[in-house]
Amino acid sequence: MTDKKTKQKLEAIKTQALADFSKYVNPQKARVLKNAGLDIIEGKREGAAVWDITGEKYIDCITSAGSFNVGRRNPEIVETLKKALDEFDLGSFIVCSKQKADLAKKLAEITPGDLQYVTYGSGGGEANDFAIKLARGFTMKTEVISTIKAYHGHTGFSLAAIGRDEYKKPFYPMVPGFKHVPYNDLKAMTDAVTEDTAAIMIEPVQGEGGIYPATGDYLKGLRALCDTNDIVLIFDEIQTGFGRTGKMFCCEHTGVVPDILTVAKSLGGNLYPISATIYREELNDFVMKYPFTHLSTFGGSDLGCIVGLAAIDYLIKNKVPDHAAAMGERFQKSFDGLLKKYPDLLIEVRRMGLMMGLQFTNDSIGPRMSYQLAQNGVMAIYTGNDPSVMRLMPVLEIQPNEVDFVIEALYTSMSEVIKQGGIEKY
């Protein structure tokens, strides 16, 4: 077949896939993605890049919101999974397994402080659900305080903890006992605490909320508040974990150790779903009383644990968090130039490692920038709870030339958006 014919065939497959997605999965989602220039059907994936099946190459700055820290189809982890499939399956969730034990031991070793016990799940929402259940069960109190614009997943308890009403309203009543206060506001949190507060739940960098890093004083203040009032401190590191912020876990930047730390996304090496709720020995008192307090058929499957262990080993062996920190610095240098050149469009850049948020002047800019960036070879999307913020979260082993490519695309896309007009602040 000629190249032209092959291209036509692939175009036809793409058109059909988009039409079927629209007809059988979610037409509104398909429309939103098209408007943002992200009507892409992923084909080849490698390192920091993904190719649309028609052959267009993109640097992936979406990475499923921090799920692809080890890169797209990391060859070492692909090999590990292939080998594992020759011998293993999911395993029985009822019995003990070496794989579950090995990964739990590794998680206990690499998480800070005395975080030790692990309960597995298959996704982030589930990990947070269990964190909240554990906090309530352990303290025998009911209230959970999280933050406005927080994102903790779409499952039961986690949904109640989300700080955005649009996700929750159609399903009221939510699980009762949840309160939301402004992020990075220690006084608001302190004022919200009552005798019935079981847990404070926080993302160390608010991801979907618009990439807001917590200040060190805030996290230290939360730790003290929890210690004084017998409250369980939960850090949701589902986006920030596994090197994303330049350290293996974001909380290492401040040395504040939570009572429960939740992880998911990149634990699965972008190849196999797995999540974990990791908690201090003290909280294990509750699990000793109720050992079957959280059951999950697919949670902590043998294959998931094998992949999780391989992903962690890869991150450590290759000093990936350090690389992320260095590439973050490289981005930062150019952000300063962008801020100077486009002050009417770009107000601020918030960043920790390779978790980056570009704060634009209004809500319409996020989707428009997604569109322009896609035209310029970068896949990026605005944050879920704030469309005025462009989130950039590439794979952690992005190379200097790829960073420069993304920067170039940002310059080009911003000047295109400015030419189109309508960037006034509102």
Please report, as ranges, the residues that interact with ligand PLP according to CB under 6 A.
Answer: 65, 123-125, 128, 151-153, 203, 207-208, 236, 238-239, 264
Which single residue is written with the structure tokens 């998680």?
107
> Of the two residues 87 and 166, which places its CB atom closer to ligand PLP in the complex?
166
Residue 94 contacts residue 287 (beta carbons within 8 Å):
no
Q: Are strands 386-392 and 381-383 parallel, antiparallel or unpaired?
A: antiparallel
CA–CA separation, 276 and 289 (whole Å): 20
Residue 238 contacts residue 355 (beta carbons within 8 Å):
no
> Of the two residues 201 and 409, which places its CB atom closer to ligand PLP in the complex?
201
Residue 393, φ and ψ in degrees, nearest 5: -135, 75
Shortest separation between residue 384's beta carbon and ligand PLP, angstroms: 8
CA–CA separation, 375 and 357 (whole Å): 20
Nearest residue to ligand PLP, by Cβ distance, number only: 124
> Of the two residues 203 and 259, which places its CB atom closer to ligand PLP in the complex?
203
> Of the two residues 395 and 417, which places its CB atom closer to ligand PLP in the complex?
395
CA–CA separation, 378 and 33 (whole Å): 14
> Of the two residues 132 and 414, which places its CB atom closer to ligand PLP in the complex?
132
> Of the two residues 14 and 350, which places its CB atom closer to ligand PLP in the complex?
350
3-class secondary-structure state, position 134: helix
Residue 209 neighbours by CB under 8 Å, 6+ apart: 147, 148, 149, 150, 151, 163, 183, 203, 383, 385, 386
Question: Any alpha helices (H) in 145-215, and if so which ranges?
Answer: 156-161, 186-192
Shortest separation between residue 334's beta carbon and ligand PLP, angstroms: 26
Distances (CA, A) of 206 to 210, 239, 264, 355: 6, 9, 16, 10
Shortest separation between residue 254's beta carbon and ligand PLP, angstroms: 18
Shortest separation between residue 422's beta carbon and ligand PLP, angstroms: 30
> Of the two residues 143 and 236, which places its CB atom closer to ligand PLP in the complex?
236
Shortest separation between residue 173's beta carbon and ligand PLP, angstroms: 21
Shortest separation between residue 316's beta carbon and ligand PLP, angstroms: 23
Shortest separation between residue 250's beta carbon and ligand PLP, angstroms: 11
